[in-house]
Amino acid sequence: MPDDLLRLSGLTKAYPGVVANDDVSFDIREGEIHALLGENGAGKSTLVKMIYGLVKPDKGSMTLRGAPYAPSEPSAARKSGVAMVFQHFSLFDALDVAENVALGMENPPPRRDLAKQIREVSETYGLPLDPSRTVGTLSAGERQRVEIIRCLLQDPKLLIMDEPTSVLTPQEVEILFQTLRKLKSEGTAILYISHKLEEIRALCDHATILRLGKKVATCTPSETTARAMAEMMIGSSFASPAAKHTTPGEVLLRVDNLTMPAPGAFGTPLRGISFELRAGEVLGFGGVAGNGQDELLLALSGERTTKRGTIWVKGADISRDGPIDRRAAGFLTAPEERLGHAAAPNMSLTENAVLTAGRRQHLVKKGFINWGRADRFAEDVIKRFDVRTPGTHVAARALSGGNLQKFVIGREVAQDPDILVVNQPTWGVDAAAAAAIRQALLDLASKGAAILVVSQDLDELLEISDRFGALNEGRLSALKPVVDLNMEEIGLMMGGAHDMEVAHVDA
């Protein structure tokens, strides 16, 4: 039996008002892939931050290969052989791959040597990457490889990966798994954080399951069903959205050959997007992040107006209308980014209600805001969507991500739109809240609204959509009924492996 590489005993960390980790103990063995499983808010992030030296535990201790291990900062963790690939990349768009890798190193070697090392590592582990490419031109999967290579150059004993597949296509996931298995075969242990159960079953040797900051179970994923792991993770059952039988009605939204240049140097242009959205229908757009989702949302919300004749609502051309006129026509949108885009962080929930509902809910009359009415509307959204907050006077930034998400989606749903477009409606939301949001969207559709859901969560799209399409480099694939789809087909719709070669291990 292999020895323990990292042993955690009794790790506890409390923040004001919440215990993020409560007496968590488990071992990671040499050369294993160990899954850390849990819902959002279960304490996974805090735990790995402690291992990586970003957060100091209140209680408890760690040992690395038998020696006491208490990193005071990430560089100390890296020196001890612990490396981490974050969910959100910390790369500079304007610099090239080699420069980005050098920035993450304590003593970067001269550029020519570094480029050579990057090529070697990328060949060995099947992660093709050109050291001189500018990061801004890379896909999400390629950016992740930059982060992984940055870690591998330091020859880590333990590699922590925080939800690495959330930005990848199915094919890219397979390539990543091959890399991780190769690392494992060379003796590197991997701590793999995810809530995607099938992945963990396919990849991991052991799993530790966290719920509300406590370790609740351990299991061997290959011998445990996904259902059993989900139950351990959630602890209670939640309602999954009811199946529905839709008979699509008239066309409410028609997008006709929508083409638009990229908004900035690193944006994605939209290329000839056309689709029709009918009453009572839920249409799902998948795709890897950065393939035109945000740009499509800006064009649909009216923040960027488009060429005449490209966007039609109920037969009327609204391409040149701004957001206010589109809302008046019953066409509502909810962007992906909650703080700063969908909501103003420092303003109260009441004020944030006025932000999109002012005209439609008659909160503004002759230019004057009826604060009483606005407050009642915000109160209504909070009640209907179970937003946990002390009241409507609270600033948006004081809400947790999931609660704010419920509020910004609820704000649009509560306005009874004819057409609703949402981007990443359940991003970073726990399972129960995500189910509630999806149910709200389905209810709205059953009342005859047309819904477009843009998401990177394929399971979500397959669960609630009637038809599915994928965005790839600003183009929209053909739309297909969800019942006819399998994972392979979806992967191809999302742009194949995104111009990636399959890993040529040992090439």
Partner 1 sequence: MIRLEKRPQPSKAWTVATPILAVILTMIFGGIMFGLIGTSPFEAIRTIFWDPLFHPQFANFSRPQLLVKAGPLILIAIGLSIGFRAGIWNIGAEGQYIMGAICGAGAGLALYPMDSVLILPLMIVAGALGGWAWAMIPALLKVKFGTNEILVSLMLVYVAENLLASVSSGILRNPEGMGFPGSRNLSQWSSSQNLELIPNTGMHLGVLTAFIAVILAYVLLTRHIQGFNIRLTGEAPRAAKFAGVSPARTILFCLGLAGALAGMAGLFEVTGPAGQVSIDFGSGYGFTAIIVAFLGRLHPVGILLAGLLMALTYIGGELAQLMLGVPGASIQLFQGMLLFFLLGVDVLTNYRVRIGKGEVST
What is the Cα Rg of the chain in Å? 24
269, 285 Cβ separation under 8 angstroms:
no
- Residue 242, judged by CB atoms within 10 A of its CB (0-12, 13-18, 19+), counts as exposed
User: Residue 215 has which token pair?
Assistant: 């370790």
Asked if 62 contacts 8 with a C-beta cutoff of 8 angstroms, the reply is yes
Decide if residue 323 touches partner 1 (CB under 8 A). yes
Question: Least distance (Å) from partner 1 to the CB of residue 470?
Answer: 25
Find the part of the chain contacting partner 1 (CB under 8 A) among 176-184, 348-356, 421-429, 493-501. 348-356
Which is nearer to partner 1, 317 or 337 (by Cβ)? 337
Contact map string, positions 394 to 423, toward partner 1, x by CB under 8 A: xx-xx-------------------------
- Beta carbon of residue 426, minimum distance to partner 1 (angstroms, whole number): 19
Residues 301-320 that bind partner 1 (CB under 8 A): 301-303
For residue 343, state whether it binds partner 1 (rule: CB under 8 A).
yes
To partner 1, the closest distance from the beta carbon of 73 in angstroms equals 6
Please, what is the minimum distance in Å from the beta carbon of residue 77 to partner 1? 11
Question: Which range of residues in 184-192, 213-221, 259-267, 342-350 is near partner 1 by CB under 8 A?
Answer: 342-350
Among 95-103, 146-154, 178-186, 337-345, which window interacts with partner 1 (CB under 8 A)?
337-345
Q: Tokens 């009918």 label which residue?
A: 278
* Three-class SS state of 500: coil
Pairing between β-strand 4-15 and β-strand 59-64 as defined by DSSP bridges? antiparallel
360 binding partner 1? (CB under 8 A) = no
Interface mask toward partner 1 for 161-190; x: CB under 8 A: ------------------------------
- For CA atoms 395, 41, 9, 202, the dihedral sign is negative
* Rounded least distance, CB 78 to partner 1, Å: 14
Residue 266: which residues within 8 A CB-CB, separation 6 or more?
Answer: 93, 136, 137
- Looking only at the bridges linking them, the beta strands covering 316-317 and 311-313 are antiparallel
Q: Retrieve residue 278's tokens.
A: 């009918």
CA distance 435 to 400: 17
Tell which one of 14, 19, 55, 70 touches partner 1 (CB under 8 A): 55
Task: Answer whether 36's CB lies under 8 Å from 44's CB.
Answer: yes
- Residue 80 to residue 83: CA distance in whole angstroms: 9
355 is a site residue for partner 1 (CB under 8 A): yes
Work out which of 105, 262, 324, 487 binds partner 1, going by CB under 8 A.
324
In angstroms, what is the minimal distance from the CB of 502 to partner 1? Answer: 36
In this structure, what are the phi and psi dihedrals at residue 423, rounded to the nearest 5 degrees?
-115, 120
Told to check if 322 binds partner 1 by CB under 8 A, we report yes
Judged by CB under 8 A, the stretch of 226-234, 345-353, 409-417, 453-461 that binds partner 1 is 345-353
In one-letter notation, the amino acid at residue 142 is: E
Closest to partner 1 by CB, 396 or 449: 396
Q: Which of 358, 402, 491, 495 binds partner 1 (CB under 8 A)?
A: 358
Q: Closest approach of Cβ 233 to partner 1, in Å?
A: 25
Q: Does 340 bind partner 1 (CB under 8 A)?
A: yes
| Range 58-117, binding partner 1 (CB under 8 A) | 72-73
Range in contact with partner 1 (rule: CB under 8 A) among 123-131, 228-236, 323-331, 423-431:
323-331
Question: CB 193 → partner 1: shortest distance, Å?
Answer: 16
Alpha carbon distance 20, 41 (integer Å): 8
The window from 50-58, 62-70, 249-257, 490-498 that contacts partner 1 (CB under 8 A) reads 50-58
Q: Which pair of tokens denotes residue 316?
A: 């009327």
Of 257 and 346, which CB lies nearer to partner 1 in the complex structure? 346
Q: Report the residue number, 267 or 323, with the smaller CB distance to partner 1.
A: 323
Tokens of 450: 């047309």
Q: Which residues face 444 on adjacent strands?
A: none
Contacts for 443 with CB less than 8 Å, ≥ 6 apart:
none
Residues 375-394 that bind partner 1 (CB under 8 A): 394
In the bound state with partner 1, the residue whose beta carbon lies nearer, of 54 and 234, is 54
Element holding 491 (H helix, E strand): helix 487-493
Interatomic CA distance for residues 100 and 200, integer angstroms: 30
CB of 134 to partner 1, least distance (A): 25
Residues contacting 16, CB < 8 A, separation 6+:
none
SS (H, E, C) 187-226: CCEEEEEECCHHHHHHHCCEEEEEECCEEEEEECHHHCCH
Minimum distance of partner 1 from residue 270's CB (angstroms): 18
Using CB under 8 A, which of the segments 217-225, 261-269, 338-346, 484-492 binds partner 1? 338-346
Interface with partner 1 by CB under 8 A: which residues? Answer: 49, 53-56, 72-73, 301-303, 322-325, 327, 335, 337, 340-347, 351, 354-356, 358, 364, 367-369, 371, 394-395, 397-398
